[in-house]
Amino acid sequence: VVASKMTHPKFWDLQLPSGFQGRATSYTFVPRNSREGESAMPTELSIVVASDRRELDEMLTALALVLLGCGGLLLVVTAFTVPRVLKSGLAPLDQLAEQTTRINADSLSNRFPVDVLPGELKPIGERLNDLLSRLQQSFERERQFSADLAHELRTPIAELRSLADVALKWPESRAAQMDRDTLAVAIQMEGIVTRLLELVRSERGQLTVSRESISLGPFVENIWQTFVTRADEKQINVVRNISQDIKIESDAVLLRSILINLFDNAVEYISNGGMIQINAFANGKQFTVEVVNTAENLETQDVPKLFDRFWRKDFARTGSKHSGLGLSLARTFAQASGCNLVARLDDGSRLTVKISGEI
């Protein structure tokens, strides 16, 4: 007899005739008659097998106790170990945070020890060092700015005080020249303060930039005409290569201020009998205005300082009406109007200051 159909086994618990608990499984099937020619009604049969489960229960109980004990031990070990591991692992971060809290304006030169930091904290340490470097440079610039401002204002203030003392001591003998000198000193101080305010406004993005169509050639020529008399007095040889057919879109007020500063610097600091060359041209969609002048007293290392506030070569500082803010203001205005202002010194002691931008 061969089973023709067998169902899935079933499992259940039961009590054995011995009185112990057991585990049973059953299979139900329909036998197939293998004899040919004989027909019979199919009969469904079931086979039940049962076994004592005491050993299984003991093994499961022991396994449960082992798992419970291991779980409890793991919790104890975790509660004891994890805080110490975290404390040890986070110690560099705590040290980094503690060192950060000690940073102030007087300790910006200190740097975080990146080499001893874990790999995960090295990028943070490097970024913090970069930030400290930038802050240090900013603070140094501000300190230098304050010192230069005090230096620039000390002289005109001393002159005003001297003029006032003389006027009070000898009021009946005060000449008209004294009033003119007082006015000149006041104008000089006003110019310094005005330019400083313009620099601050520009750096804060408070400058209003408007664009209009400008004929570059006539625009440059018109501005240069105000310096012709001073150039003739110093017997300066002026060469102008200015294209007359260039149309640009720019802020006329800012561009005028930039060119006035460039021309003023060139005329002021050039030696008698020197040479100034003014070039204005277009190259594709870019326009360029160059002011080239002889500069015997400048050196290559001086060029990056030209745009620093209050910087002037020593030979030009004493007795000059310039405050050293012109080129700094010109670069700020150039950036605000979307242009680029750069300077270079050629081997033949020829200083070239160039402004360029999109037409």
pLDDT (mean) for 303-308: 84
- Is pLDDT of 105 > 50? yes
Average pLDDT value over all residues in the chain: 81
> With pLDDT > 70 as the criterion, what percentage of the chain qualifies?
84
Predicted local confidence at residue 316, as pLDDT? 45
CA 2, CA 35: separation in Å to the nearest integer? 11
Residue-wise pLDDT for 38-73, tens only, equals 555 667 788 888 888 888 888 989 999 999 999 999
Q: Of 223, 236, 300, whose CA–CA distance to 266 is shortest?
A: 236
Query: Percentage of the chain with pLDDT > 90?
Result: 23
Average pLDDT over residues 81-91: 81
pLDDT tens digit sequence for 209-235: 788 899 999 999 999 998 999 999 999
pLDDT of residue 317: 46
Our separate counts of H helices and E strands in the chain read 8, 11
Is 206's pLDDT higher than 70? no
Q: Does 292 score more than 80 pLDDT?
A: yes
Question: What residues contact 128, with CB distance under 8 A and at least 6 apart?
Answer: 96, 100, 112
pLDDT at 276 > cutoff 90: yes
